[in-house]
Amino acid sequence: MSVKVKNNIWWVGKVDWELRKFHGEELSTHRGTSYNSYLIREEKIALVETVWAPFAREYVQKLQQEIDLKCIDYIIANHGEIDHSGALPELMRLIPETPVYCTANGVKSLKGQYHQEWNFRVVKNGDRLSLGSKELIFIEAPMLHWPDSMFCYLTGDNVLFSTDAFGQHLATEKLFNDCVDGGELLQECLKYYANILTPFNSFVLRKIKEFISLNLPLDMICTSHGVVWRDNPQQIVANYLQWASDYQENQITIIYDSMWDATRKMAEAIAQGIREEEPSVLVKIFNVARGDKNDIITELFKSKGVLVGSPTVNKGLLSAVAGILEEIRGLGFKNKKAAAFGAYGWSGEAVKMMGERLKEGGFTLVNDGLKLLWNPDEEGIAACRSFGSDFAKQYNLTIKGEP
C-alpha cells in the first residue's frame, strides 16, 4: 500500500518487521527496518530506489497496483547496495528500456552485481532532470554509504532523497518522524551512525556543509531506511554534524570477556575506582561475549574513554574481545583514551596485545595496562581500583580541555 508523503510524492517501499540481522550477520536490527522507495508523479514520473531482493516480486506487484509500469519515465538509483537495488532486476525485466539514473560508480556497482546492460544515464553533482514544473537535482554523496551513493533533491516540494544518510533501522507503520517514539528513533539513528557511518565522518561533514551552502529550502528528508523527516528535518542534520565531529558524551565504557570471573572482577573494581575519582562520569560495563556487539559499539561511540579486558588464553585474547577490537579498528574512532587489563595464569600476553590493537585502532593509550596473576585478591582489587582512578585522572584532563 502506498503512503502519501507530500503533494505528488508517494512512498511505495517495504516495511521489514522481521529483520534482526543486516549486512549478513554483521549488524543487529532489533526493531526491523524498511526499504523506502518513492514514486514522484509529476508531468514526468520518477521512481526513486527500490527494495531488498527478497521482496522484489511483492514490491513490483504492489507497484503495478499503483501505476502502469510503462508510465514510469525515470528510475533513480541513488545507491547500488542490494537493499535498495535488489528489486531492479525484477522491475527491469518488465520495463527494460526505462532509463536508470545513477552515478558513474553506480553503473559499476549495478553492473557488478546484476550483470545487465540497462539503459544507464550517468549523472554528476549538480545535474538536473526536469519532471515538468519541478526538477530533480542530483548531489553526488560518495561514501554515504558507498562510492556510488548520491542524493537527489526535488525542487518545488523542497524534498531531499538522501538514500542511507539520516536513516535508521526502524520498522514502523507510521512513516513520519513526528509519529514515532522519539527516544527509540534517536537511539536507532545513533546506532546506525555509529556502526555504519563512523568511518566516513569527513565525507559526512563535507557533504552536509556543501548542501547547506547550496541554500536549498528543506521541508522534508526522505531517507531509504526508517522514517521520513517531516517535522524539523534540520534536527537530524544537526545531529549528524555533531556525530561526525568525533562525538563524545561524559562516559567511560568498560568492555571485557572472562573465563573464570577474574577479569570480570577486575572490570568491576576498575569501574569503582573511576567512580571514586570522577563521580560525574557515567561508567558502563559490558561483557562482549554476552552483549549485542552493535549496541556495545554504539556505547563506545559515545565514550571519551574505553577500557578493554581479556584474560590470556593460548597466548592470545578471548575471541569475543578480539572480534570487537577488529570491528572498532575498522570504524576508526578518534580522540578517545584507552587502556587494557586482564587476568592470566602463566604467560600473560593479552594485555599487551590489546594495547597494540587499541593503538592501531586510533585510540590514545594512557598506560601499559594492568595484568593480574590468577584471581584478584584484596591487594589485586585495590590495584584495579587504583588503575581505574588513574584512568579517570587522565580522562579528567581531557574534559578539562586537553585536545
The distance of closest approach from Cβ of residue 403 to ligand FEO in the complex, given in angstroms and rounded to an integer, is 33
- Residues at the interface with ligand FEO (CB under 6 A): 79, 81, 83-84, 145-146, 164, 224-225
Please say if 84 is a catalytic residue.
no
Q: Which residues contact 187 (CB under 8 A, 6 or more apart)?
A: 298
The distance of closest approach from Cβ of residue 84 to ligand FEO in the complex, given in angstroms and rounded to an integer, is 6
Catalytic pick among 225, 247, 277, 299: 225
CA distance 212 to 108: 29
Distances (CA, A) of 5 to 37, 86, 319: 11, 23, 46
Q: Which is nearer to ligand FEO, 50 or 263 (CB)?
A: 50
Please say if 145 is a catalytic residue.
yes
Reference 226, options 151, 160, 167, 162; nearest CA is 167
Catalytic pick among 42, 145, 240, 278: 145
CA distance 137 to 148: 16
Reading the block at residue 287, the C-alpha cell is: 561483557
The distance of closest approach from Cβ of residue 216 to ligand FEO in the complex, given in angstroms and rounded to an integer, is 23
Half-sphere exposure of 270 (CA within 13 A, CB side): 35
Q: Which is nearer to ligand FEO, 224 or 310 (CB)?
A: 224
Please say if 23 is a catalytic residue.
yes
Catalytic pick among 16, 49, 83, 327: 83
Half-sphere exposure of 263 (CA within 13 A, CB side): 34
The distance of closest approach from Cβ of residue 110 to ligand FEO in the complex, given in angstroms and rounded to an integer, is 13
Q: Which is nearer to ligand FEO, 50 or 251 (CB)?
A: 50
Quick one: 126 exposed, middle or buried, by C-beta within 10 A (0-12, 13-18, 19+)?
exposed
Catalytic pick among 38, 153, 192, 240: 192
Please say if 83 is a catalytic residue.
yes
Q: Which is nearer to ligand FEO, 197 or 283 (CB)?
A: 197
Q: Which residues are catalytic?
A: 23, 79, 81, 83, 145, 164, 192, 225
